[in-house]
A and B are shown apart, each in its own frame.
Chain A
Amino acid sequence: MHYIDPHIHMVSRTTDDYEAMREAGIVAVIEPAFWLGQPRTTVGSFKDYFSMLVGWERFRASQFGIKHYCTIGLNSKEANNEELAEQVMEVLPQFLAKEGVVAVGEIGYDDQSQAEDKYFRLQLELAKEFELPVMVHTPHRDKKNGTLRSMDVIQEHGIPEHMVVIDHNNEETVKHVLDRGFWAAFTIYPKTKMSKMRMVNIVNTYGSEKIIVDSSADWGVSDPLSVPRTAALMRENGIAEHHIHLTCYQNALTVYGQSGQFNESGWKQDRVVKQDDLHKGNSVLRGQEAKEINFKNSIGD
């Protein structure tokens, strides 16, 4: 069984996590740009962080057979430093144009301040310009109002609902999100946000059509195996395989696939190199038989 974790902050995770994730069947991850637990003070820190998401972290993941994608955006917390936010907005387009950037995100509200609202709206316009989906972070505090307000603003900007994932849902928000036609993602945390068992109940109640499971694992108490573990619990509780497939793999592929940057060939392609093809006309094989080497999920394709 293959899984996608469409929201995980791998820069905070170890190689042990990568190994365990691959072992558990995770073939692809999406790493949304977010804050680092402490505010940045210069635009250079943002540039280097974005570069890391499309460079070193992408390479690191490939070493463990996991295909790494990301979303690029100015998060809501740091949108409150307006002077810096202006400079970050300047560099965003260059990163949004890059390969493997599957959405603008995670963006939205934290305190629901005026500055947050301003940069949320500006980035929604960028999403339209670059024809990318949007990953929306909903606030921890005053969650329900923040979620409703996010959806109002998105609709006001004329972005079609099928292009938007509203993340970090709970029992209080899910119905609103689904009724309005958006994708509803759930972050499964060991302690806060959403538990695995509550997730099972959500799927029992609302089905799987537009529901997505993710871990949002980062530098805090979180679990990089939340997606496969939730899938296992669904299975134990008799939820049909196709619901598991949709919520833990296919829905993420469908919504972020709309970027044109996210499709199964990224991780399903095996490359075969025939040794005797490596260099034509030059016999290097002294009597040995040519081997076929199979590179599973190799990077570079």
Chain B
Amino acid sequence: MKKSVPKQCVKDKMGDRKLDFANYVLNKLSLEEQDWLNLKTVGIKENTKRFPIFFSQASRFITKDVPEWHTGEIQELNSIYPGFGNTDWTKQDLARTVLVCSLDTNKDAQVLSGFFEIAEMKELVALYKSLFLLDNAADFAPQVKEGVRTNMVNVFDAICLGNPFAAAYLEDPAWNQLILKAVFMDRPLYKVQNIDKRRNKELAYMLQDYIQERWAANRTVSPEVWRLVHQHLRENVKQLILAKELETFEKDAIEAILDSNTIQDEEFWYNIGKMNELNLN
């Protein structure tokens, strides 16, 4: 059962959600790991300058196992952090997120943005995953916009997949670049949080240019892109479609948007995405 929380209510619960998240995390750690994390959280609160070293040292004190969650826990976490269950979080990612949450980022935003400049690959993953939980998350939109430019796929995934930040805080041009880049990099669009809510005409047109370019070169496109073309299908692309022989789930995806009155639900596109992912592998 998906828990839907009205926006205002989420805002009021801001302070609590970092705490709730931390409690779920602590529950999954060993006693030694809990002690370490509690100690470092207090340490950071006493002196924020310690944050970079503690954050890095999590790699030495917290394992990289992915904890198993009960259905109830995943539901709760998905309501605190929409999309949480769509990607793997290692215990290290989780503990690092708790460390980020222990900063007062209203006051110490500089500590965090300074650390982004010197973070290694896995650190960047955890940093980008954690931002959504911050009270002043919106202040980090420029950082995420910059992060989209990364060439490290796992860092890109941390921003793009199972992370509600981009849909919540990026403006259309940056959001559109994120999605275009995801398409170019063959990332699974069905894991992008709130992708349907951020559909827009400009993106749909850019993707149709991309489709034309690929088809002209006798190359294929991911059937997931049609999800974003929905209700903005151009006549010239429609003609190309009609002249083309389509098969299997690509046919399903395209037919789903040919009639702009039909609206397919998330589950439909989820299945298209999964089929495509299996096909790529």
Chain A residues with CB under 8 Å of chain B are: 47, 50-51, 54-56, 58-59, 91, 93-95, 97-100, 260, 275, 278-279, 282, 284-286, 288, 291, 293, 299-301
Contacts and interface: CB of A to CB of B under 8 A. Distances in A.
A91 B118 contact: yes
Contact of B151 (A56, A95, A285, A293): A56
Given A94-B52, A278-B274, A291-B281, A301 B64 contact: yes
Contacts of A286: 275
B278 A98 contact: no
Contact of B275 (A59, A100, A284, A299): A284
Which 8 pairs show the lowest CB-CB distances between chains A and B?
A: A54-B120, A284-B274, A99-B59, A97-B56, A59-B152, A97-B53, A98-B56, A94-B52
A275 B281 contact: yes
A55 B278 contact: no
A98 B270 contact: no
Contacts of A100: 120
B152 A55 contact: yes
Interface string B38-54: 00000000000000110
Contacts of A291: 278, 281
Interface in B105-122: 117-122
A284 B277 CA distance: 10
B154 interface: yes
Interface string B131-153: 00000000000000000000111
A98 B281 contact: no
A55 B153 CA distance: 11
A291 to B, nearest CB: 7
A279 B123 CA distance: 26
A285 B276 CA distance: 11
Given A55-B121, A95-B118, 9 more contacts: A47-B117, A51-B120, A54-B120, A56-B152, A58-B121, A59-B152, A97-B52, A98-B56, A291-B278
Given A56-B152, A275-B281, A51 B274 contact: no
B120 A58 contact: yes
Contacts of B154: 59, 299-300
B57 interface: yes
6 contacts: A55-B124, A56-B152, A99-B60, A275-B281, A282-B270, A291-B281
Contacts, number: 68
B30 interface: no
A63 to B, nearest CB: 9
A66 to B, nearest CB: 14
Contacts of A275: 278, 281
A59 to B, nearest CB: 4
A256 to B, nearest CB: 15
Nearest to B272: A284
Contacts of A94: 52-53, 56, 118
Contacts of B117: 47, 51
A74 B275 CA distance: 51
A59 B57 CA distance: 20
B151 A59 contact: yes
Contacts of B119: 51, 55
Interface residues of B, number: 26
Contact of A98 (B123, B274, B277): B123
A55 B57 CA distance: 16
Nearest to A291: B281
B271 interface: yes
Contacts of A282: 270-271, 274
Contacts of B275: 284, 286
B239 to A, nearest CB: 30
Given A94-B52, A278-B274, A284-B275, A55 B60 contact: no
A265 to B, nearest CB: 10
Contact of B56 (A91, A99, A284): A99
A50 B278 contact: no
Given A51-B119, A54-B121, A94-B56, A279 B274 contact: yes
Contacts of A293: 281
Contacts of A284: 271, 274-275, 278
B34 to A, nearest CB: 21
Contacts of B123: 98-99
A51 B118 contact: yes
A50 B151 contact: no
A120 B90 CA distance: 38
Interface centre among B121, B122, B153, B271 (most CB of A within 10 A): B121
Contacts of B124: 55
A278 B52 CA distance: 34
A95 B59 CA distance: 13
Nearest to B122: A99
A56 B154 CA distance: 11
